[in-house]
Amino acid sequence: MTLKNKLGITDPVELTRAEERISKKKALELFELHLSDTSEVGTFEGLAGIHRHLFDEIHDSAGRMRTVNISKGGFCFAPAMYLEAALENIGKMPQSDFDGIIEKYVEMNVAHPFREGNGRSMRIWLDAILKKELSLVIDWSKVDKNDYLLAMERSPIKDVEIKTLLSAALTEKTDDREIYMKGIDASYHYEGYSVFKTADLKNEK
């Protein structure tokens, strides 16, 4: 079933294309305007702001905490009735070193606070934390899709694999537009969105 959307699109394939094109353009705006850097970095409020910016033109639920239970591949994310408390606890987790930041990211992934768009917004959120605290970001174009998905699947039980994978892709080029755009494309590719290149959308009206 196609989620209700502001675009009035009922065909799921058409909605997927529109969502990718619009939200990738909005992701580039986040970079150009440094919006994810100036948000409440490391908090749900900061993540909600990123999610809202990416998807506000598409979904009424953009930036809003989900009120239903969701699962993926047999894994149940945090129950909706406990979600607010879980997000409050995540916001209090330390983020002063790499291990702590990734542990916080793993817990936010378990929470999965939105109906859709969690992974795409959380990876931008993670980079904002890394940039603020360590002056580093992840070059997502160097992170293999299958390796990443498997590591994230196992991360609630053992996070050493995701830490090792992401550590190998760290870069000091925090303001490099090319790395950012390739990273957005890679991030969307993890979720099955790969029709548009972010670089091709930067001058589109």
Residue 75 host element (H or E): strand 75-76
Structure confidence at residue 2 (pLDDT): 59
> The pTM is what?
0.95
Structure confidence at residue 204 (pLDDT): 73
Angstrom distance (rounded) from CA 195 to CA 192: 9
Contact 153, 73 (CB under 8 A): yes
Q: What is the pLDDT of residues 82-112, one digit of tens each?
A: 999 999 999 999 999 999 999 999 999 999 9
∠ CA(199), CA(152), CA(83), 5° rounding? Answer: 100
DSSP 65: P
Angstrom distance (rounded) from CA 15 to CA 22: 10
Structure confidence at residue 37 (pLDDT): 83
Angstrom distance (rounded) from CA 71 to CA 90: 20
List of domains in the chain: 12-192 (1.10.3290.10)
Q: Which residue blocks in 72-168 are alpha helix, DSSP H?
A: 80-92, 98-111, 118-134, 145-154, 160-167
Residues 6+ apart with CB under 8 A from 10: 2
Angstrom distance (rounded) from CA 97 to CA 64: 29
Q: Which amino acid is at 90?
A: I
Banded model confidence at residue 74, pLDDT cuts 50, 70, 90: confident
Angstrom distance (rounded) from CA 139 to CA 35: 19
Q: What is the pLDDT of residues 142-182, one digit of tens each?
A: 999 999 999 999 999 999 999 999 999 999 999 999 999 99
